[in-house]
Amino acid sequence: MSKHSVIRLKPKAEARAIRHGFPWVFANELVTDRRTRALPAGSFARLEDADGRALGLVTVNPASKIIARMMDRDPDAEITCDWLAARISRALELRTRLYDAPFYRLAHAEADGLPGVVIDRFGDAAVIQPNAAWADAQFALLAQALQQVTGVSIIVKNASGRSRALEGLDEETGLYCGALNGAVPVQMNGATYMADLLGGQKTGLFFDQRDNHAFAARLAGGARVLDVFSHVGGFALAALAQGAASALAVDSSAPALELAQQGASFSGLDDRFQTRQGDAFGVMEALAAEGAQFDLVVCDPPAFAPSKPALDKGLRAYERVARLAAPLVAPGGYLGLCSCSHAADLNSFRNASARGIGRAGRRGQLIHTGFGGADHPQLPQLAESGYLKAVFFRLD
């Protein structure tokens, strides 16, 4: 008999979806009696359907709308260091097939069988985001398994972000083990990026945009490039590495642009690279007033629609980005627009982008749609995991 507590779905809950791979149980689907509500956040339980048939081992957080997350289809599984190491090893096997160097998203939450856990690897260092209560409670074990499988000696616990707040967790980010001496250089797409693992956005670098950087760089030979919401120079540095004539990186963060400048210098590209700090909308308006034109413009803003209540406002913001960016594209040039909003599906985002281009008096053809790379796998049952969208247009 399992030593785990038992929790049970309500009679009208859709047990079949869970049997077919859906990884979450929402609070309104579960019998939440006093015993269930008393379970500690991050504890494990045996999930059963309304008829008492086992569905698997889940982790429980009574304080979250996602009250249970599937850990293992075996209801008697034990979450040990060996269990975690097996999941990380499976994730590592895919990444080592994909990439020659150890710089990638190593674990992408539910899709890699580690609910709520994001691990980005930077050579000998790794950043863990424990975005679910179980991972926060088992962080030491998770770090031990990660070191056992990969041999990394530096681990950062990144406890920031909206997901942790929804789980009722704190936001304390810090160095868990090892030592960091400044930003970490990361080679991607022929350029070197500088990742601040402790003080940067998210885990320090957006590995999810790697393939989109590469596509944009294919358009950049001899081009004048504008990279808006540039962070540490994502699109700009990749474009320069592939022969762009010049690149201007725009961001509101001075520290991010300083890292971009360091990356350009490290890559030997600083003679063609410039930065401009300021609000992206204001800078685009100012560039238009100056009569500036570019052969390739890419905008990669933060998530304007992180949740369904923010969707309408977020789509208007994406439309505005397109409306301000389109006039900056020279005739026959290219415009790339990105969204990392979970709530905005591809069709809605693409339509908002097209409206903005039309409102700017421009017309064009959609030439490419991009997504996160293969180190950001998705569960087909979980649309939210496919958050990143990028659409590229050629404008008349």
User: Residue 46 has which token pair?
Assistant: 């045996």
Give the SS3 label for residue 335.
Answer: strand
- Compute the distance between CA of residue 394 and CA of residue 335 in angstroms, rounded to an integer: 6
Q: Copy the structure tokens of residue 394.
A: 């050629």
Query: Does residue 340 carry a catalytic annotation?
Result: yes
Q: How far apart are CA 257 and CA 43, in angstroms?
A: 42
Spell out the alpha helix ranges (H) of the chain.
15-19, 34-37, 81-98, 133-137, 139-150, 162-166, 210-218, 234-241, 254-266, 280-289, 311-325, 346-359
Bridge partners, 128 (sequence order): 119, 157
Which DSSP letter does residue 28 get? G
**What per-residue string of b and e applies to 265-275 under the rule 16 or more CB within 10 Å gives b?**
ebbebeebbeb
**Per-position DSSP letters for 83-121, written without gaps between them:** HHHHHHHHHHHHHHHH-SSSEEEEEEGGGGT-TTEEEEE
Active-site residue list: 340
